[in-house]
Amino acid sequence: MSQININFNVSRKDAKMFITSIEYVILNTQNQQAKKRLYTILNEIKFDYWKDDKILLFVSQGLRIVTRKPIHLKSKLQSELGIPEIWIHRTLYKMCNDIIERLMHLSKKNKPYKSVTPNQASTCKTVHDIIKLIRSTYDKA
């Protein structure tokens, strides 16, 4: 059987509605094959729903080795978090690629992807910039 790729953007509110609806259908169906397929779809939607939160968690964990200050979405890497410029230029891209690898593993996506380069990573000025870079690289895979 051939596969199709369904890709469209919805709000978090609509995604939550899809999750709730699919969970309801799973609970009320007797067909085990349909249940298994619905679980697969549900897991994909849940992963996308929580993806940004997971990325923020992974970024926070990665930045803990260079700063002890509270990490927020809008935190500026150098001025607020005190992260050395040399770390941003030489190590941030490795952290980004490690996070993308973790996301690929969690989503069971075994596709090749274009790695984040040191130049791309060094343009990040805030935590939100790092998250956008990781998300866009992951989504292109």
Task: Please report whether residue 120 resides in a domain.
Answer: yes
- In a domain? residue 2: no
Residue 60 forms part of a structural domain: yes
DSSP codes, the chain: -----------HHHHHHHHHHHHHHHHH---HHHHHHHHHHHHHHHHHHHHHHHHHHHHHHHHTTT--S---TT-BTTTTT---HHHHHHTHHHHHHHHHHHHHHHHT-----PPPPHHHHHT--BHHHHHHHHHHHHHH-
Q: Is the pLDDT of residue 1 over 70?
A: no
In the predicted model, what is the mean pLDDT of the chain? 91
- When mean pLDDT is compared across 22-26, 33-37, 78-82, 106-110, the lowest value belongs to 106-110
Give residue 113's pLDDT band: very low, low, confident or very high (50, 70, 90): confident
Is 62 inside a domain boundary? yes
Q: What is the pLDDT of residue 76?
A: 96
* In a domain? residue 68: yes
The mean pLDDT of 107-134, rounded to a whole number, is 91
pLDDT at 114: 87
Q: How confident is the model at residue 3 (pLDDT cuts 50, 70, 90)?
A: confident
Residue 79 lies in domain: 50-140
Per-residue pLDDT tens over the stretch 46-97: 888 888 889 999 999 999 999 999 999 999 999 999 999 999 999 999 999 9
> Rounded to two decimals, what is the model's pTM?
0.78
Query: What is the CB-side half-sphere exposure of residue 100 using CA atoms within 13 A?
Result: 26
**Averaged over 11-31, what is the pLDDT?**
92
Task: Answer yes or no: are the C-beta atoms of 48 and 15 closer than 8 Å.
Answer: yes
pLDDT at 8 > cutoff 80? no
Q: How many domains does the structure of the chain reveal?
A: 1
Specify the CATH number for the domain of residue 93: 1.10.1200
